[in-house]
Amino acid sequence: MAIAAPDASEHGFDAWVAHKRQRRIGNWLLVAAAMAVLGWCVWDTIVVDTDWARMGGALGIAGTIERFFLIDWSLIPHLLVPALETMMMATLGTLLGCVLSLPVAWFGAANVTPSKYFFYPVGRFLMVLSRSIHEIIWALLFVGAVGLGALPGILAVAMRSIGFISKITAEAIENIDPKPVEAIRAVGGNQFQVMYYGIVPQILPVIIGTIIFEWDINIRRSAIMGLVGAGGLGLVFFRQMAMFNYGGVTLVVLAVLVLIAIGEIVSHYARKAVI
């Protein structure tokens, strides 16, 4: 082996070059295939499906966009209460989401789950289910179940946040240091004491950081809940859109931006304080 080394390395070099060339050809084929798929998508979307005549040309589009810039400032006093509602919906939804995600995280964390064969898959499935259904669909389901108002929005936001919060929490639980847990068990702590003194202090900073992050996202989610009948800024947006008052629509969008900027600032300082 050692004697044949120089020869082998030369052969190895050739093989390496050939391998590289093969890989390059493979990569080019992959790129070509991707480009073909994308080209077909572009053709289907822009040529087949779009009715360019109806848009009225560049001037027509510019005219529509221009109407969005005639901002209707008189709407501001009517936005304060919906903005507050949106903020409250996001906060309550996040809180409910946290409460609901505690059992899910407990089931879905491999090292503390009550049963590996039943509860663990259930927990994992709930996490995926919560994330895979869009908040609009959750809102539609809950509007059907509890009627119009802020409540379906809160429930929808809560259901959508379960997935993320419980996933991060379960991962944090799986990565804890097992020594404190063992120590508490060794001195005779029961299941509850193990959880409260052994696990919770270790994962608390992670959970609080996640909750703050999720709250920030939930503000933008709850801002659209009104589109399907659940109050807040989305309802004002929907109404302005129905009245074709595009200036008012722009103002609502600006209000959403302001709310999110506030949320971002608050969450920035809150996260700094926690971590």
Residue numbers of the site for another protein (CB under 8 A)?
A: 37-38, 40-42, 44-46, 49-51, 54-55, 61, 64-65, 68, 84-85, 88-89, 91-92, 95-96, 128-129, 131-134, 136-137, 140-142, 144-146, 149-151, 154-155, 220-221, 223-224, 227, 231, 237, 241, 246, 249, 253, 256-257, 260-261, 264
Q: Rounded to the nearest 5 degrees, what angle is found at the Cα of 56, between the Cα atoms of 54 and 59? A: 160
Q: How far is the CB of 111 from another protein (least distance, A)?
A: 21
- Closer residue to another protein (CB): 102 or 151: 151
Contact 90, 158 (CB under 8 A): no
- Closer residue to another protein (CB): 194 or 233: 233
Q: How far is the CB of 25 from another protein (least distance, A)?
A: 18
Q: How far is the CB of 140 from another protein (least distance, A)?
A: 6
Q: Distance (Å, rounded) from C-alpha 244 to C-alpha 238?
A: 10
Q: How far is the CB of 149 from another protein (least distance, A)?
A: 8
- Closer residue to another protein (CB): 112 or 267: 267
Q: How far is the CB of 50 from another protein (least distance, A)?
A: 5
- Closer residue to another protein (CB): 5 or 146: 146
Task: Name the maximum alpha-carbon separation found in the chain.
Answer: 88
- Closer residue to another protein (CB): 178 or 201: 201
Q: How far is the CB of 5 from another protein (least distance, A)?
A: 28
- Closer residue to another protein (CB): 178 or 205: 205
Q: How far is the CB of 272 from another protein (least distance, A)?
A: 13
Contact 15, 8 (CB under 8 A): no
Q: Rounded to the nearest 5 degrees, what angle is found at the Cα of 106, between the Cα atoms of 102 and 110? A: 150
Question: Measured on CA atoms in the order 157, 162, 163, 168, is the torsion positive or negative?
Answer: positive
- Closer residue to another protein (CB): 52 or 73: 52
